[in-house]
Chains A and B, each alone.
Chain A
Amino acid sequence: MEIKQIIVVTDGKSNIGGNPVTAAAEAARKGIVVNAIGIMEQRDEDHAFDEIKEIARAGRGAWENTHVANLGQTMHHMTQRTVNKTIETIVGNQLKEIMGGSLNDIPPQSRGQIVDYMERLGEDIPIKCCLVMDCSGSMANKMGTARQSIIELMNSLQGRKGKSQIAIVAFPGVKGEFYKVICDFTENIGELKRTVYELKAGGNTPTAAAINKAIDLMMGIQDITFEEIAVNNGPLLRDGMI
């Protein structure tokens, strides 16, 4: 059992590379919770707003629009919420099986022990969190704070007893690519600190492609390059066949 979570951080509407809502729904089907954080300054960007709401809804997560200065705190709270919801579901099912009811049916004074148990489960459960980070042109002046927030989230997750890993997928990538894997799953703060400086702003907003890549990372699916195909396969025709 582990918690799989994608946090999409964006400051605008996606404009290339597919529909991010479909991608989020695909993630949810694979047991990944997709949360979405908008760091949009004008609240009048209605379409962008609707999009993050839809991403969160399809990804069975939460959404919030916040100032970039609060990004670290918001990511912490969203992760906490994902953990709590997951544990609530697990323990809720157990309670239903054992006593045919929920926590609400137990007198308040007796809930303490179960709540303690839930706390401990939440503390110990492994977490894999993939940040899908908007690095389009408009992010330029927010990049510094965004980098700091990622390190803050790592400092928060590493305070847990359970194993916590973070990966970062930036969108767009370089040279016309839709995304770039800045950092694959790691629990090493040093590695994360080194790699966040590769987050640079510029280009379009291909949110969907980046979410799809996050799903692949989460499920351990590797990109297959031509070289790999060549190495991993034997010769097409063996000598004896001729």
Chain B
Amino acid sequence: MRGLRFAKGSIIRGKWTQRSYQVLDLLGEGGIGAVFKVQEMVSKEVLALKLSEDLQSITKEYNMLKKFEKLSMVVKVKELDDVDCSGKQLYYMIAECIEGKNLDQYRKENKITIKSILALAMIIGKAFQGFHEENYVFGDMKLENLMVDQKNGKLKIVDLGGVTPVGESIKEFTPTYDRASWGAGLRKADEKYDLFSLCILMAYLLLGNEFPLQEKSVDKLMNKLRNVDISPRIIELIHKGIHQNSISLSQFLLSLENIYHHSNGFHTGGKSVGRIVNAAFVGSILFFLSVVIAMIIKNSAMGKVFQAII
């Protein structure tokens, strides 16, 4: 958000509630807003403040956060207010502050195992179902919208800007996860829209830094996945999910759970075992040779020269 920044230490005073917040830190910036870590001046409570110049979009998001506050994964929102910023009216909402990293930052710093990826997909899928039961679609799912709450060991959804009633058009999206950008369907709110983004999110985590792809082609994405050492059952499931025509979200989640609980390995059976055996074999030969050479060096006249070098 160009030029609409509050420096550390500045005070934001709500026009309607008259409550004041001191800015502690900038947590993130987006197209039409910024998120700050703030402290309420009286209670000293540390909270998150999302600032926007767009009345419509922040009011809509606040409504959605209120509507879905019963879902444990959704961040809790407290108030909505206006603030004057050198003559310009801005809008903000106050929500609980999640201490931790978003899943994209987390992914870059930590190795996420295949088992955890499946678990994450199951948790996110369950959350999607919570929205679908109320006849809404989540819409804008992406790694950056998921916070790993390290204090409480939970996953939290921090942005509901993309939540859309079923049957309406999706207005807020991220091309990487958006099926219309992949040429794989309409930008319209139905449960399959969320299923598609969930599959992309899984592919993203499985492929790691090979993602995002240069070109948004579903076939190329599937080919990349087939080159990774993962169980074909997972690949098959993602394939179905991405094509959206032969599977519902609940069937997808059931299969996912099935794979999660009933499979010993998540890798391509023999291939990985073979690799380990090969590596161990080559390693042992190298070790043997080095021992032999060391003995020769020690016992030979040349040894002294080599020892000096080593």
Contact = CB atoms under 8 A, between A and B. Distances in A.
Dominant SS at the A interface?
helix
Interface of A: 70, 72-73, 76, 80, 84, 88, 103-104, 107-109, 111-112, 115-116, 118-119, 123, 148, 151-152, 155-161
B140 interface: no
A112 B56 contact: no
A155 B63 contact: no
Given A115-B59, A159-B168, 7 more contacts: A80-B171, A107-B16, A108-B82, A111-B59, A112-B63, A155-B185, A161-B169
A80 B185 CA distance: 19
Interface range on chain B: under 10, 10 to 19, 20 to 34, or 35 or more? Answer: 20 to 34
Interface string B48-59: 000000011001
Nearest to B178: A73
Top 5 nearest A-B pairs (CB, nearest first) are A159-B188, A159-B169, A159-B187, A156-B187, A108-B80
10 contacts: A88-B56, A108-B16, A112-B59, A123-B169, A152-B181, A158-B188, A159-B170, A159-B180, A160-B168, A160-B188
Contact of B180 (A107, A111, A152): A152
A197 to B, nearest CB: 15
Interface in B13-62: 16, 55-56, 59-60, 62
Nearest to A145: B215
A189 to B, nearest CB: 9
Question: Taking each of A70, A76, A84, A159, which has the highest tally of chain B beta carbons within 10 Å of its own beta carbon?
Answer: A159
B168 A161 contact: yes
Contact of A103 (B16, B55, B168): B55
A140 B287 CA distance: 58
Nearest to A112: B63
B183 A148 contact: yes
B303 to A, nearest CB: 62
B81 interface: yes
Question: Taking each of A73, A155, A157, A161, which has the highest tally of chain B beta carbons within 10 Å of its own beta carbon?
Answer: A155
Contacts, number: 73
A192 B167 CA distance: 23
Contact of B169 (A84, A103, A160): A160
Nearest to A149: B181
Contacts of B189: 159
B91 to A, nearest CB: 7
Contacts of A151: 183
A159 B169 CA distance: 5
A109 B171 CA distance: 23
B168 A111 contact: no
Contacts of A103: 55
Contacts of A104: 55, 82, 89
Given A108-B59, A108-B91, A115-B60, A76 B187 contact: yes
A95 to B, nearest CB: 12
A208 B68 CA distance: 50
Nearest to B14: A108
A73 B180 CA distance: 10
A80 B189 CA distance: 16
B175 interface: yes
Question: Taking each of A73, A76, A118, A161, which has the highest tally of chain B beta carbons within 10 Å of its own beta carbon?
Answer: A76
Contacts of B62: 108, 112
A238 to B, nearest CB: 56
Contact of A161 (B89, B167, B171, B175): B167
A80 B171 CA distance: 7
Interface in B150-207: 167-171, 175, 180-181, 183, 185-189
A120 B246 CA distance: 32
B140 to A, nearest CB: 13
A108 B53 CA distance: 14
